[in-house]
Chains A and B, each alone.
Chain A
């Protein structure tokens, strides 16, 4: 005849083993999940590389009028290399201190252009307008034109951009 405690002992052992199995299961799931989560979430935590990009000589800047400079650089998009082209406007009252505006409209991302007659940056998509200081003058843009940090090295203008 079996001892009455033997069944209880077996039950307790199995309960303990069940916990262990659950624990091991959770451990395995966790071990497998960590690399999966890291793999899928890493783009959100990837630091975007900042680089200084040469856009042209300071001598080309026209004082008083926005001067357009075009730039291009290679950007690594995942496993593809892309050539990124862009335009910025340099607005300068003097060559010691000036402003470098992005030509991307803050409303819908269209390219704005300087209209000398109206003295505004004009966005053809939704008639957005910015004054020479990049402030919204009319239309739907929610905020002023973006500005690029810049520096002048050896007579050339460098702007700070962020890669992908």
Chain B
């Protein structure tokens, strides 16, 4: 070793220089208090080294800073290095304060060491700058919001405040540029300045020497210097350094290094000020509003300036405390003020209260039930539910009601009702009531990948559906479809609220992936069961709808069917008698375009009830319907019968009644509804046998062809009453006035008495009652007493009446002689 050092010294002379530097004499009385400066130097070296090695993994971007720190924490040695870097900051802050106090009390700032003091105060401000910039680098909530608060203090300065703030931040608010700026300042600018000032500071100490304790300024020359800096003083320094390093390692191993949740500009966080800034924090809060800058900037600035000028203001050559009453009094005042302000602000960083066993049980339940997934505690945990930072303000009754019935206060709450027993409820309530604004979320192991940045934004729970709609696949990368159900089984999405069932088919058809984010493919089947609206649905839906119409109405309005079945039917189906003729149309139309082959069976076989399947049902159904055996109205409306019968069925009560009806066809005297129907179409034959009409009419009905020419006369002559059932006597005259019957030939005037005798009723069919009397102007046929009474008629009407039938020359002489009257 010695030879190596000698070789280095031969080559560089460095070892000799260092030995000369260290081997300067020290005055008597220099002991442990004077080691603090060197210990701070050692701690700064630790900060340099740990900082350099942390930079191997640290990424100064908002996207990766937090993750990279977490990554360093995940390495065992990394956690130690990170902890050393963190706790060394605290140690430096503490020792710098002690060092300044020691220098002041010992009067070491006095002539000729004024500049050492000034440099020391500048180094103090540098260490403050280190902590301010370093606190932001993990990019966690505490660092982010602490920086925001500090920068708002800088921005509160009149006139130049906002300029100063934007220059420091690189923008209007803490953001990406702030992080890169703070990183560059923390690892490049400040260390460079610090090294320069440190060299100057140490060099001045070496040149001016360590202050002889309690000696007057002008009495230093004759001070005895029996000690050597090395090794008499360095051994004490090394002991102190070793002790404090061990303390730091133990602090790291025992206390660990904790991060608050990742920085979230949209989620305010009660940032905790570091303990060495408490007095400044409290000082700023002594002033409010626009005067805050006085406490936050002006007073600290004046104080700093006063500190720098202390050696030049205090010209008292004495170093003994008793002979420096004013400066000691002032220093005591500052010390008391700083301590008082720090103590006053201490509650803001007080640790969370220690939990009782019952509260610990509640905390375990809180974690076991994964309450932290939705409820945060002071920024830690989920954001879906309210943060429980002020849980201590809630009453026991309120917490119990929320746990047992979450929808009591918010009907759309997604919180599942707890299944806790009464004791567990008490434990949970006790834990929630123990939460204070200073409490933190109990640490839980990270399961799965960390949440992406988008999930940490404020309002994410409100806006996540839009993210889902933009790119459903991105959600599916991490989440199973059932993941959504964890919340949405208790709270449907807003889109699912109003008439969603009627719209969801269209929405799912437009964007199927959107549905699949929350629902599995089988989800549709759970509701629709067999009613899958697949490719052949149009051909199947009728049968399914008939079987379970209520299922259709869950999604469709009752008028939904009309959207197709009214307007969209082909023209061939729109004929009034389509149902009657559709069988014939199959010969000319391709039904398979729309219908499956078994479509017909739905009506003609499968869908008909058993009662309708009898071979002679068509013929029997009327009788069955009239007898009440069939309850036709269960399936059919009254108008259903008309679709086949084309007339009122069952026949109404006045079906046979004769009425004055408008003429139909060549027959102008149809006078009853049934005759109208019968004449309109041969529909009666569907139900009635061919001779059915003869049961009443006694003749073929409707009258067959040629009836008027030759058919009706025999019937009318044989049974004129039969004709009178339907026809009036005058109706015959409508024809017979111009078209005489065949019997009425040229000899009919002579032969008709014989023909009419005994057949008066037949004559009456056409001629009406007493038609003979009207024509003959005398009773016809002559009554039995006519021989006695005819003289009266013959006497004055013989020429006009009697001789129309009787021969004038011969008939009278047949009875009367020439001599008789």
Contact = CB atoms under 8 A, between A and B. Distances in A.
A32 B75 CA distance: 17
Interface in A26-77: 27-28, 31-32, 34-36, 38-40, 42, 74
A71 B200 CA distance: 62
Contacts of A25: 238
A116 interface: no
Contacts of B54: 39
Contacts of A20: 231, 235, 238
A42 B75 contact: yes
Nearest to A46: B75
A108 interface: no
Contacts of A35: 77, 80-81, 84
Contacts of A80: 64, 67
A156 interface: no
Contact of A39 (B70, B78, B242): B78
Interface in B222-240: 228, 230-232, 234-235, 238-239
B564 interface: no
Contact of A28 (B53, B59, B84, B241): B241
B449 interface: yes
Contacts of B77: 34-35, 38-39, 42
Contacts of B56: 39-40
Nearest to B477: A83
B53 A39 contact: yes
Contacts of B249: 31
B239 A24 contact: yes
A17 interface: yes
Contacts of B80: 35
B245 A28 contact: yes
Interface residues of B, number: 35
A79 B68 contact: yes
A10 B49 CA distance: 36
A32 B72 CA distance: 17
Given A20-B231, A40-B53, A79 B71 contact: yes
B70 to A, nearest CB: 7
Given A14-B228, A20-B235, A21-B235, A78 B75 contact: no
A127 interface: no
Contacts of A42: 75, 77-78
Contacts of B67: 79-80
A83 B626 CA distance: 78
Interface string B768-791: 000000000000000000000000
Contacts of B228: 14
Nearest to A42: B75
Contacts of B57: 39, 78-79
A35 B238 CA distance: 20
A81 B77 CA distance: 22
A28 B50 CA distance: 14
A35 B79 CA distance: 9
B790 to A, nearest CB: 126
A50 B567 CA distance: 66
Closest 4 CB pairs of A and B: A17-B231, A79-B71, A24-B238, A38-B77
19 contacts: A17-B232, A20-B238, A21-B230, A28-B238, A28-B242, A35-B77, A35-B80, A36-B81, A39-B75, A39-B77, A39-B78, A42-B75, A42-B77, A74-B449, A79-B59, A79-B67, A79-B68, A79-B70, A79-B71
